[in-house]
Structure 1
Amino acid sequence: MTDADAVPELSRWQRTMVSDGTLAVECLERGDGPGVILLPEIPGIMPGTIELGDLLVDHGFTVVMPSLFGVPGRRPGLLGQVAAVAKLCVMAEFRAFSLDLRGQVTDFLRLVAGDLAARTHGRGVGIVGMCFTGGFAIATAVTTDEILVTVVSQPAAPFPVSPSRARSVGVPPAALERYAASRADATPCVLGLRFTQDARSGDARMVALERHLGRAARVVRIPSGDDSADGTPKGAHSVLTGGVREDPPNRAFLEREQMFEFLRERLAPAGASDARA
């Protein structure tokens, strides 16, 4: 039985092996419209990520999901999840618990962004990173002109082994500030999201985005635990997937809808009023 048989939703996605000569990664693609790179959370491209990708497609985007770890659609046991973390830790981005702007994954994602920008009709492409891949998203964005908009959701790396690491998104402050200075207009191009009581993604990282990106960043803190009026639990972590409740809609659901609009406004071709197909 193939993965597509085990997870029928995968049968709608085109699967291609992409290599930059150093890293070879299976990429899943679907949709028509401006391009968006969707990076999975650990342990990989699970049903929640696939659902988010399908929603992006429904909102008029061409979506590419690189399978950076794990097997798409297959939920590993505890040992498999540990192996996924271990794989990340030996990559250049995570050596010494930090990200490297010229590491394996960011180099690969720049290739994906350039290819996607060349064959889609948006003004550029977007990138969405969640949890451990939040840093990959911003590290790629600050080093390529093809990415016009970045979503950093509940960033959980580098590992918070010190106060400086706890407030880092894995990109040197000077690089963030240069990136912000290169965006001359006052329109935010980076969206940061987290739940207020999320212990795995501390608010210090959101503060750092605000401080070093200034007007280029828009940060949304979604009430959870004792802060929440809609029942979002203290342990809520995944803003765009597991933390969403559709009926009745909670704040995470509403902010996810706003994220779709955030991407559309910045990526739609000039003169287009709506990027939906």
Structure 2
Amino acid sequence: MAESLLEADSLSDFAAREITLLDVAKKVHVTGDGPGVIVMTEMPGISPHVARFARWVRDAGFTVYMPSLFGRDGAVPSAEEAAGVFRHACVSAEFRAFGAGGSSPVTKWLRALARLAHEECGGPGVGAIGMCFTGNFALTMMLEPSMLAPVVSQPSLPLDDPGGLEISPEELEAVAERLKREELTVLAYRFEGDSFCRAERFAAYEKALGDRFVPRVLPDAAANPGPKPPFFEQFVTTPHSVVTVHLIDEAGQPTLAARDEILAFFKERLLG
């Protein structure tokens, strides 16, 4: 565990498991007890900030599954190294970084992880949160029946279309129909001035999902202005990461209220 969020985190309080699903093996960091919640990392990997959020989910009464999708787990990489992780992910066959109307192939593996988490942890189902590069994944994972509590935080893909959605029209229609049929909702978060997740994207979600989509737009002034990891200092020049880097861990802060709303959402759906 990192003493500082700007120092590497050993993740020693997580069990590092090698999980093979659909003939693909990935490392997944697991901790806690209770229904499963899948925490998907933002760029450039499982940082101390992401791990802190995962611990908050664990301490709220859940088993956290945090898959390693890119980058060095627990690291605070230099801006140059982090930019390399970003470039590699953009051309990886697992992700669809450009072009709207299609889901990243890795979401099939993540849906299988949701099934496994439900089998292992029991309860009514599982929750998931995606952030930034993985932001939309929790919505696509609603194609898995065990997924009950999706959170979409600053969804940044596709990078080349501010109003585009990283999901196929057929899958989006299936998700919208399920949300309506089962009276489920999707929580979504962004900062007002976020250059990676703009208002056009939330408008597209609202058009597709109606009142099943519950958006939260935070003022830029609510973002933590403090010291940030090198990747954010150099490349993320607007408020962006609602529950990680730009969260202010103080009572009364909008970002802390967002975190608490997410935890309450998981509790309502998964603990009843």
Q: TM-score range by the shorter chain?
A: 0.7 to 0.9
Asked if 1:170 is matched to 2:166, the reply is yes
Change (3 A) 1:195 1:216: same
Judged with a 3 Å threshold, the aligned counterparts in structure 2 of structure 1 residues 254 and 9 are, in CA distance, closer, same or farther, namely farther
Determine the structure 2 residue equivalent to 1:275: none
Bigger mean CA deviation after superposition, 177-186 or 245-254 = 177-186
Query: 1:168 is aligned with what amino acid?
Result: G
Paired position in structure 1 for 2:238: 235
Q: CA deviation at 1:13?
A: 0.4
Aligned-partner SS, 1:11: coil
Q: TM-score, normalised by structure 2?
A: 0.85
1:126 shift after superposition? 0.8
User: What is the deviation of 1:82?
Assistant: 2.4
Partner residue of 2:138? Answer: 137
Counterpart code for 2:203: V
Aligned to 1:191: 187
Q: Give RMSD over aligned pairs.
A: 2.4
Matches of residues 45-56 of structure 1 in structure 2 within 5 Å?
45-56=46-57
| Aligned residue number for residue 154 of structure 1 | 154
Q: CA deviation at 1:120?
A: 1.1
Partner of 1:258: 261
1:175-234 deviation line (CA, Å, top 9, x unaligned) = 323312223457442111001111121111111111111122111111114xxxx57669
CA pair 61-124 structure 1, distance change in 2 beyond 3 A: same
2:193 aligned partner, one-letter code: Q
Identity percentage of aligned residues: 31
Shift in Å at residue 237 of structure 1?
0.8
Tell me which residue corresponds to 2:270: 267
Q: Structure 1 residues 231 and 35, CA, compared in 2 at 3 Å: closer, same or farther? A: closer
Contact 1:157/1:170 (<8 A) preserved: yes
Give the whole-Å Cα distance in 2 for the aligned partners of 1:10 and 1:95: 28
Distance in 1, Cα, partners of 2:260 & 2:22: 37
2:117 — aligned with what? Answer: 116
Instruction: Quote the offset at 1:24 in angstroms.
Output: 2.3
The Cα shift of 1:19 comes to 2.2
| Structure 2 unaligned spans of 5+ | 226-236
Which residue identity lines up with residue 71 of structure 1 in the other structure? R
Shift in Å at residue 263 of structure 1? Answer: 1.2
Cα distance per residue 1:133-157 (max 9 Å; x no partner): 012222222x211111111101111
Partner secondary structure for residue 12 of structure 1: coil
In the TM superposition, residue 107 of structure 1 has moved relative to its aligned partner by 1.9
Instruction: Give 3-state SS (helix, strand or coil) of 2:261's partner.
Output: helix
Gaps of 5+ in 1: 273-277
- The normalised TM-score by structure 1 is 0.84
